[in-house]
């Protein structure tokens, strides 16, 4: 099957192990149906750096078997893909503004995800660990604020669309909240 993620072409071709990252360059930002490949994303945020990065922090979000007292069976993720890619690119730009020496990658999966599977992976490389951790944390907070992705929880006894934040990328209060959490 052809990879379904939306990519900005990367100048170097890269061959990594299997999956959606198998035969093409790894984009820093992606919305994808196949399982996520953290090793490939880590390799990509590290690429082209001759020892300048002293740290890589990563975050992996997983499908949990309980939520709000419900027994979760599986999750179904849906995205408005072109806008989701743009929103992720916006977050990458925000991270670059705040932590200019950090290099960030973030991939979000859509479709049906089973318990324990990864829904999102984030990797942030930086000269020092503090910025790497902060960029990583900032990114997941912003994803939950402004990226048009939704999850439908299928649980024992029913299903429900989960709804979190009203997405508004220009809401500075939300952005400052993400900074505060990231730098706490």
Q: Report the residue number, 41 or 79, with the smaller CB distance to another protein.
A: 79
CA-based R_g, the chain, Å: 16
- In the complex, the smallest distance separating the C-beta of residue 25 from another protein, rounded to whole angstroms, is 23
Phi and psi at residue 55, in whole multiples of 5°? -155, 145
Residue among 34 and 169 whose Cβ is closer to another protein: 169
- Find how far residue 58's CA is from the centre of its chain: 10
Total residue count of the chain as it appears in this document: 184
Residue 174, interface with another protein (CB under 8 A)? no
> Which listed residue (51, 164, 172, 173) binds another protein by CB under 8 A?
164
* Six-digit token string for 150: 């939704």
Distance of alpha carbon 31 from the chain centroid: 9
- Residue in 63, 102, 134, 140 binding another protein, rule: CB under 8 A: 140
Cα angle 13, 19, 21 (rounded to 5 degrees) comes to 25
Sites for another protein among residues 88-117 (CB under 8 A)? 108
Among 14, 39, 80, 96, binds another protein (CB under 8 A): 80
Nearer to another protein by Cβ, of 53 and 108: the residue is 108
114 by DSSP, 3-state: which? strand
Single residue of 23, 93, 115, 165 touching another protein by CB under 8 A: 165
The correct pick among 40, 102, 113, 149 for binding another protein (CB under 8 A) is 149
Inter-CA distances, 56 with 39, 40, 50, 63, Å: 12, 13, 14, 23
Give 85's contacts (C-beta < 8 A, 6+ positions apart). 6, 29, 30, 31
**Taking the complex as a whole, how short is the minimal distance between the CB of residue 141 and another protein, in angstroms?**
9
Q: Which stretch binds another protein (CB under 8 A): 39-47, 49-57, 78-86, 176-184?
A: 78-86
- Give the closest residue to 32 by CA, choosing from 173, 149, 184: 149
The footprint of another protein (CB under 8 A) covers: 61, 77-80, 82-84, 86, 108, 119-120, 140, 143-152, 161-170
């Amino acid at each position: 099957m052809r990879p379904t993620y939306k990519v900005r072409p990367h100048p170097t071709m890269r061959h990594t192990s299997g999956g959606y990252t198998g035969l093409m360059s790894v984009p820093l930002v992606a919305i994808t149906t196949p399982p996520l490949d953290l090793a490939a994303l880590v390799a990509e945020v590290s690429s082209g750096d001759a020892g300048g990065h002293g740290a890589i922090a990563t975050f992996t979000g997983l499908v949990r078997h309980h939520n709000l007292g419900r027994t979760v069976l599986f999750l179904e993720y849906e995205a408005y893909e072109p806008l989701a890619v743009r929103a992720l690119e916006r977050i990458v730009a925000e991270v670059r503004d705040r932590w200019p020496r950090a290099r960030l990658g973030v991939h979000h999966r859509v479709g049906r995800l089973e318990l324990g599977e990864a829904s999102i992976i984030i990797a942030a490389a930086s000269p020092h660990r503090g910025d790497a951790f902060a960029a990583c944390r900032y990114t997941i907070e912003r994803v939950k604020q402004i990226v048009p992705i939704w999850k439908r929880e299928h649980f024992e006894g029913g299903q429900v669309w989960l709804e979190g934040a009203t997405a508004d990328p220009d809401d500075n209060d939300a952005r400052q909240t993400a900074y505060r959490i990231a730098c706490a």
